[in-house]
Amino acid sequence: MIHVLAADPTLADFGKDPLWITIIKAVMLFVFLMLGVLFGVWYERKLISWMQNRVGPNRAGKFGLLQSVADGLKMGLKEDLFPRTVDKVLYLLAPIIMVVPAFLAFSIIPFAGMVNLFGVTTPLQLVDLPVAVLFMLAMGAVSVYGVVVAGWSSRSPYALLGGLRSAAQVVSYEIAMGLSFVAVFIFAGTLSTSEIVHAQSSLWYVVMLIPSFLVYVICMFGEAARIPFDLPEGEGELVGGFQTEYSSSLKFALIMMGEYLHTFTASAIAVTLFLGGWRAPWPISLWEGANQGWWPVLWFFIKFVLTFSFIVWVRASLPRVRYDQLMSLGWKVLIPVNLAWILLVAAVRTVTLTRSGEFPGSTGVAIALGVITVVGVLAIWLRFDTVNQRQREAKKAQAEAEFEELAAEPTAGGFPVPPLDLPHYHGVQRKEVPSGTN
């Protein structure tokens, strides 16, 4: 059992810092994210090249560490072009809309507990709210406006299709992602990120809520538009998607930064809500000082890098899915599975609290909730069975149609047999040509 330390911050510990401490923490967060984008690009390219038996960046700096810096300088110094037909105000505003919410979403991530920062005891977290996780979801939803505006203002059919794809994709997977958090809220009893980490002092939620974690991992790729769910870009059919009309200039660099920051936010949220946050893993947690001082920053960073490495690994391993498969997975699989799992978690939690005396209800209420849960799960299962039944019937009807077509025309579906060179063909007498004539 891991004992809860007195260093765990709560909502009451926020809002008491001097202004200069808040500014320092904001600057530290900004520097961390900027350096993270620079070295994250290098790390992703190096890891993929290692997985694919290539070299990767190796020219700019030792081990190619300065390659991302060189790319950033190149894009910053390039001529900033505006296509003739674009809406210049919205065209310039779209990358900013993508980047700013990504920075704001990372402000609710706890990097450690209470630390001593320049003589002031403060939580190593910029801000916390009673609805911090909802704030993160809201920032992710706002950033999609940047993608839609970028596609619409470009006046390009490919860019517009990419923006519309992104809007539909975010709406679909935002619902499933929000539902994957409900089980965490039920067990933690709060939406505050610092208190959710505090609630995982004895057991990480990835252990007891593994279905929620798996659904979140899938939604994480859909929300951040990473492979195999990078349909808004879709180079094969949309050239570059919503960013087709953005040249390799500073605007393009901002778009790339926004996408990477959303990937970082998704990784940090996975660490915070399911992997114990900044808490040390077992058996390091047996050390009494593992979760005190600045040590939690190291544990958080290790978990964060491993989660980001998993995202890169998936990119190097899986192909892009079709758009209909993407939407079908979100609406027909993830959301129903989430609803059934939430009903089960709520029933188990209610029964547990009723037996312990913490829930002001009776055993009958718990039993009724359990019956409702079973009925709900069966209803969702029947819904899936209906879908499978329709698919089987459609395949059967297609097979019967193909069989009837083959029975009516033996050459259907194969190579046609050319007509034979006979004297009488289709009832027409063939004329003999005298020899020696043309």
Give the total number of structural domains in the chain: 2
Domain ranges, residue 355: 333-397
266 and 197 inside one domain: yes
If residue 94 lies in a helix (H) or strand (E), which one and from where to where?
A: helix 88-105
Asked whether residue 192 is domain-assigned, the answer is: yes
293 and 348 inside one domain: no
Asked whether residue 79 is domain-assigned, the answer is: yes
148 contacts 163 by C-beta, under 8 angstroms = yes
370 and 267 inside one domain: no
197 and 298 inside one domain: yes
270 and 375 inside one domain: no
151 and 52 inside one domain: yes
232 and 356 inside one domain: no
266 and 117 inside one domain: yes
Q: Judge whether residue 410 has pLDDT over 60.
A: no
pTM score of the predicted model: 0.79
Asked whether residue 6 is domain-assigned, the answer is: no
- Tens-place pLDDT, residues 58-104: 888 888 888 888 888 888 888 777 778 888 888 888 888 888 888 88
143 and 281 inside one domain: yes
Q: Which of 321, 345, 367 is the last residue of a domain?
A: 321
Q: CA 145, 318, 306, 50 torsion: positive or negative? A: negative
- Three-state SS for 121? strand
Q: CA 375, 377, 383, 388 torsion: positive or negative? A: negative
254 and 348 inside one domain: no
d(CA 413, CA 410): 8
Q: Which of 321, 355, 372 is the last residue of a domain?
A: 321
* Predicted confidence band of residue 307 (pLDDT cuts 50, 70, 90): very high
Give the per-residue pLDDT at 272: 92
173 and 213 inside one domain: yes
Asked whether residue 295 is domain-assigned, the answer is: yes
* Predicted confidence band of residue 237 (pLDDT cuts 50, 70, 90): low
227 and 285 inside one domain: yes
Asked whether residue 259 is domain-assigned, the answer is: yes
